Structure formats: structure tokens, C-alpha cells
Amino acid sequence: MSILSKIIDSFLPPRCINCGKVIPNDDGLCEDCFQEITFISSPYCRKCGSPLYEETSSKKRLCGRCSGRKSSPYRLARSAFEYDEASKNMILSFKFWDKTENAKVLGKCLTIASKDILEEGADIIVPIPLHFTRLFKRRYNQSALLARELSKLTGLKVDFISVIRHKKTRPQVEFSGRARVKNVRGAFSVKNIDKIKGQRIILIDDVMTTGSTLMECAKALNKAGAKSVDFLTVARVTR
């Protein structure tokens, strides 16, 4: 197989999933893109995972938003890197332009970002579902592909069918602020409650912007009796 791989690479050399530059191996990113992407590392909020731009000696620090929040539908939220000009191309090409092969590299990023969640304990992975009309049009659910890759790397099972998006919503990119919350309100439901009840769930999506979609899906999972819900995304908007 190694000989076959070398032959294939000679005709179709591996390329950076972000800029398209030919790279010497199948790691996914060229050195330049790797250096430009802002990976999220300590210090970050212990709950929502958003970067803290001031050095702190405490590993248990909360951001201003989380410190003022009395309750939320999730336990922890983590993302691999910031969604910005340096990283958005590989996300958009994966989500909209059929670059499904990007899932392998992005899944590895999720595994690294999920460390805190896995330490707290998790039972199953649930991808954010698409409405069937959008799935038919796009032909794949990028969150489901990410969930499958994370499952391979962690050994956790994926539940692809228990959570459904029964309400057809407009793309969140068309809205901002409170309008995003309203757009996805009541969009999700759980049809296999027995598979969700008492489970510690990792909820997967590609990008967290305001978190409205994840929050609404988490509410449906909590209503179905989930023990806990954690958010895990490849990227997040931080500024």
C-alpha cells in the first residue's frame, strides 16, 4: 500500500486544505497556514472556552459573560481555532464546496480541542442535524462527517438519528444577534428519547458564531433527559 500511495501522490500530490499548496505529506496544512491559524489554547474561559486575552494564573477563570450567567443548557464549550481570514477558507470549502476530505484533518483538530470535555466524561456524539430539504440540496451534513471522524479517534459512538431539525430555518449567516436566536427557536426535537436520556452528549458543529443553533439544540436534548451537553466545534468567532 505504501508503494501505491507513492504512485498516487506522484500524480495527485497532497495539498494544503486551506490554500491548496502542494505539501510533502497528508497532514492537511502547509507550514505557512499552520502558523497563521490561531489555535485556541490556555488561557480560555473554563466554561465557554472563549480565549482570554489577558494572562492569568488561574486555570479556572470565567469570562465576563459566563461569570454573569446563572444557568445555561450546556456544561462546557470548546473549539479548535478561531474563525478568521486565516482559517475560513478550509471551513467554507468543507461546508459548501464539497471538500469533504477536509473532515479527516478537522476531526483531528476536534480531538485535541475535546480534551477537557473527555476528561469530564462523555457517552455519545451527536452532530447538529440539517433540515431534510437542505440535506437533499447539499448532499451531506458537514457536522455528521466531523462526528464520524471524532468517533474514529475517540471510540465514542455517534447518534445520527435521535435529534431532528423539524423546522426549516433560513441560513444563520443572514441574521445577527437576537435575530439568530429567533430564527432557530423550536427548530429541534428528539425522537429517540430512550437513547438520549441519562447520556453525556458531545454536540458537534463546524463553527460557533453566537452559539444560537447549539443552544437551541441543547435545550431539546436537555428536555429529553440528557445528563449533560457539551459543545464542540472546529472554529469559533471570537471578536
Same domain, 86 and 105: yes
Query: In this predicted structure, what is the pLDDT of residue 4?
Result: 54
Domain hosting residue 73, numbered range: 41-236
Residue 46: closest CA among 28, 61, 27: 61
DSSP string of 160-206, one letter each residue: SSSEEE-S----GGG--THHHHHHHTT-EEES-HHHHTT-EEEEEEE
Query: In this predicted structure, what is the pLDDT of residue 95?
Result: 92
CATH code: domain of residue 57: 3.40.50.2020
Same domain, 67 and 141: yes
Same domain, 230 and 119: yes
Same domain, 163 and 125: yes
* Burial class of residue 101 in the structure, from the number of CB atoms within 10 Å of its CB (0-12 exposed, 13-18 middle, 19+ buried): middle
Same domain, 78 and 94: yes
Query: In this predicted structure, what is the pLDDT of residue 148?
Result: 98
Query: In this predicted structure, what is the pLDDT of residue 10?
Result: 53
Same domain, 18 and 31: yes
Total domains in the chain come to: 2
Query: In this predicted structure, what is the pLDDT of residue 25?
Result: 80
pLDDT by 10s per residue, the chain, length 239: 566 555 445 556 888 999 989 988 877 899 999 999 999 999 999 999 999 977 655 556 899 889 888 889 999 999 999 999 999 999 999 999 999 999 999 999 999 999 999 999 999 999 999 999 999 999 999 999 999 999 999 999 999 999 999 998 877 877 788 888 888 999 999 999 999 999 999 999 999 999 999 999 999 999 999 999 999 999 999 87
Grid cell listed for 91: 471551513
Same domain, 49 and 32: no
Same domain, 12 and 92: no
Q: Indicate if the alpha-carbon torsion angle 202, 208, 213, 219 is positive or negative.
A: positive
